[in-house]
């Protein structure tokens, strides 16, 4: 048996939508991308959506659209996928890390203000593993210190904070559509904002800096090719028509895990959150404090030996080799992040994961943990 870490949920509907595009006239910059964007403005109740070719591109465009530049500091989390910090480095902006909360793994809002300096221009918070960050507090801090607020919701499509959809907070927000995310376009991302200027700038910059009059050789600013193809947009449209079903399926798989993991001693499973709704992105367990990083790595190796894919979500950003080199980061600088990232394991998680397979995975895990 070989169980992958993730797998996209593609039906005949997605396949025929993509084939229809291929049989049509426009493979890029047609109606599908416009429709895909409209679905997102409706879903998040945002005014503007700009579809791009990855979540990383979406973050990069927001950083540029907000005018962040060399010398500026942006407060963010070290416990995330590396793109949420790299988007700052692209523009020589300095990421200033704030440690995370023990329970939610999200940025610890109580530690943000002590890191604000004259150079601080924005906060970039991440809804890690689909768990909403504390957006009311983040908005308050941003307002008080006149900072921009960026919401990286690349892992959190469908989540809610106090009844309001994730992706609707901050000056701008992002989603991503890599195959392991809640919905996929194979590769893709989205910028959401209520600010017309930000939306116009992002639209222009995704398309080689063209002005929005679409004069093909009127380049008014530095831009990129961050366009999403019509095939990808068509795929995304169908996925979004299935979003309720997809989120429900993920909840059911999480339930299977919960039921089968609760009697394994010495591990912590994801808990319900009181202030909103999580959108299941990955299923991450945390080993108890009698285990260390070596134990964790051994458990992962033994699991893989049984055909169970797993991963150390996340290996923290500040300890990545090139971040260490650039900023001289060391273990101990962000102790909660270090502690958590030494003990977390992401188990296989995708819509089509059956109860039978979850039972297989959890039994193997139990056996391994009890043998240590
Ligand atoms: C997936 C992800 C992104 C963007 O990823 P792409 O692969 O570029 O689409 C950004 N931030 C976080 C937290 C992510 O998980």
* pLDDT tens-digit series, residues 219-229: 899 999 999 99
Is the confidence at residue 216, as pLDDT, over 90?
A: no
Mean pLDDT of 341-365: 98
Confidence of residue 263 (pLDDT cuts 50, 70, 90): confident
Q: Which residues of 5-16 are buried (b: 16+ CB within 10 A; e: fewer)?
A: bbebbeeeebee
Q: Is residue 75 a contact partner of residue 96, using CB atoms and an 8 Å limit?
A: yes
Confidence of residue 217 (pLDDT cuts 50, 70, 90): confident
User: Which residue's C-alpha comes closest to atom 6 of ligand 1?
Assistant: 55
Distance from C-alpha of 36 to C-alpha of 18, rounded to nearest angstrom: 13
Q: Which residues of 230-254 are buried (b: 16+ CB within 10 A; e: fewer)?
A: bbbbbbbbbbbebbeebbebbeebb
Give residues (CB < 6 A) around ligand 1: 54-56, 80-81, 83-84, 126, 152, 154-155, 176, 178, 189
For residue 370, report the distance from its CA to the centre of ligand 1, in Å.
Answer: 35
Q: What is the pLDDT of residue 122?
A: 98
For residue 83, report the distance from its CA to the centre of ligand 1, in Å.
Answer: 6
Mean pLDDT of 18-37: 97
pLDDT tens readout for residues 41-93: 999 999 999 999 999 999 999 999 999 999 999 999 999 999 999 999 999 99
Confidence of residue 214 (pLDDT cuts 50, 70, 90): low
Is the confidence at residue 215, as pLDDT, over 90?
A: no
For residue 188, report the distance from its CA to the centre of ligand 1, in Å.
Answer: 10
Distance from C-alpha of 361 to C-alpha of 352, rounded to nearest angstrom: 14
**Closest ligand 1 atom, residue 178 Cα:** 9
For residue 264, report the distance from its CA to the centre of ligand 1, in Å.
Answer: 31
Which residue in 152, 206, 194, 193 sits closest to 175, CA to CA?
152
**Closest ligand 1 atom, residue 155 Cα:** 15
For residue 21, report the distance from its CA to the centre of ligand 1, in Å.
Answer: 26
pLDDT tens readout for residues 86-102: 999 999 999 999 999 99
Is the confidence at residue 119, as pLDDT, over 70?
A: yes
Distance from C-alpha of 237 to C-alpha of 221, rounded to nearest angstrom: 30
Record the tokens describing residue 17, joined without a space. 């939508």
């Amino acid at each position: 048996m070989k169980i992958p870490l993730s797998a996209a949920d593609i039906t005949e509907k997605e396949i025929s939508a993509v084939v229809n595009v291929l049989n049509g006239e426009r493979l890029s910059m047609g109606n599908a991308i416009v429709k895909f964007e409209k679905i997102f403005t409706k879903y998040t109740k945002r005014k503007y959506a700009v579809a791009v070719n990855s979540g990383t591109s979406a973050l990069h465009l927001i950083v540029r659209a907000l005018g962040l530049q060399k010398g500026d500091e942006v407060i963010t989390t070290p416990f995330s996928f590396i793109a949420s910090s790299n988007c700052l480095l692209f523009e020589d902006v300095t990421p200033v890390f704030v440690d995370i909360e023990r329970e939610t793994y999200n940025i610890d809002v109580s530690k943000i203000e002590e890191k604000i300096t004259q150079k601080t221009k924005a906060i970039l918070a991440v809804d890690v593993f689909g768990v909403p960050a504390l957006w009311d507090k983040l908005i308050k801090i941003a307002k008080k210190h006149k900072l921009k607020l960026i919401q990286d919701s690349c892992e959190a499509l469908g989540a809610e904070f106090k009844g309001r959809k994730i992706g609707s907070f901050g000056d701008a927000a992002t989603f991503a559509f890599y195959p392991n995310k809640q919905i996929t376009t194979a590769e893709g991302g989205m910028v959401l904002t209520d600010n017309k200027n930000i939306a116009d700038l992002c639209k222009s910059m995704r398309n080689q800096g063209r002005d929005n009059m679409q004069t093909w050789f009127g380049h008014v600013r530095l831009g990129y090719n961050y366009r999403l193809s019509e095939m990808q947009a068509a795929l995304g449209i169908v996925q979004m028509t299935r979003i309720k079903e997809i989120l429900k399926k993920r909840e059911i798989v999480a339930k299977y895990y919960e039921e089968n993991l609760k009697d394994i001693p010495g591990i912590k499973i994801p808990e319900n959150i009181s202030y909103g709704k999580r959108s299941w992105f990955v299923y991450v367990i945390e080993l108890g404090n009698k285990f260390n990083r070596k134990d964790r790595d051994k458990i992962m190796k033994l699991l893989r030996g049984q055909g169970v894919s797993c991963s150390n979500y996340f290996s923290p950003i500040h300890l990545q080799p090139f971040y260490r080199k650039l900023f001289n980061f060391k273990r101990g600088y962000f102790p909660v992040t270090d502690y958590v990232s030494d003990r977390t394991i992401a188990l296989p998680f995708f819509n089509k994961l059956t109860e039978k397979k979850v039972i297989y995975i959890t039994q193997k895990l139990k056996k391994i943990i009890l043998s240590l």
